[in-house]
Amino acid sequence: MMADKPRSIQNIEDKMVSLDVSSLRYHVLESAKNFKTSWIELGRSLYSVWKDKMYKEWGFGTFDAYTAREIGIKKPTAMKLLRSYYFLEKEEPAYLKSDYAKEADTAKLPSYEAVDLLRKAKDKKTLNQEDYSKLKKDIFDGGKDVQALKRDLTSLIRQRQELDPDEAYQNRRVSTLKRFIGSLKALKQEAEISKLLPAQLIKEVQELIRKIEGEIQ
């Protein structure tokens, strides 16, 4: 089930009545109405609206306002749709061809959440091409549930880190240093506001923060 659906079909259909059926605006609404089975088409349409700022011509100040008020989709969902569609266009264009959607079992068509997960996996250095190919097969051919995919991906990353302890150590090191920097910045700000420390010590804390940041760059 989708985490975030467009507002009721009736509301969308009411908006469509007064629009030219050949217009982009009508096409976006039509795609939103069929969101579950045609999110790719909705993502494609929204990408055009976002890229060309068409929403301004339709009386909306921002893209977020357009998606929320016109088709009832919240910002996180709209951005996932955009990123997932653009990822397919750039990395897996074969899955955008109409014959794929026609030949694929509707129940196995990947959700936008699954494609977004694949997009994130593509950038993970701990995964190799074989790992990526298997995940892609599970998504596009197996229609695997996104929660099961997340569990598989987490398990796989953990296995890869165990095989490469040096990389796992570096990841833990960077994560710990980032948390340390965040704490130092918060304490420095509190000390400055409350005048708990002399200006010279505040300056030394800032210099320490700068040096630690240099360790993780």
At 171 the pLDDT is: 75
How far apart (Å, rounded) are the C-alpha atoms in residues 116 and 87? 8
Residue 192's closest CA among 209, 181, 205, 179?
A: 205
At 36 the pLDDT is: 54
pLDDT tens digits for range 140-152: 887 777 888 888 8
Mean pLDDT of 178-199: 90
DSSP codes of every residue in 40-98 = HHHHHHHHHHHHTTHHHHTT-SSHHHHHHHHS---HHHHHHHHHHHHHHHHH-GGGGSH
Residue 41: pLDDT band by 50, 70, 90 thresholds? confident
> Does the model's pTM come out above 0.85?
no
Residue 83: Cβ-neighbour burial (10 angstroms; 0-12, 13-18, 19+): middle
Report the percentage of the chain scoring pLDDT > 90: 26
At 5 the pLDDT is: 47
At 2 the pLDDT is: 45
Residue 49: pLDDT above 70? yes
How far apart (Å, rounded) are the C-alpha atoms in residues 131 and 153? 9
Residue 215: pLDDT above 70? yes
pLDDT tens digits for range 62-118: 999 999 998 888 889 999 999 999 999 988 888 887 656 555 555 567 888 889 988
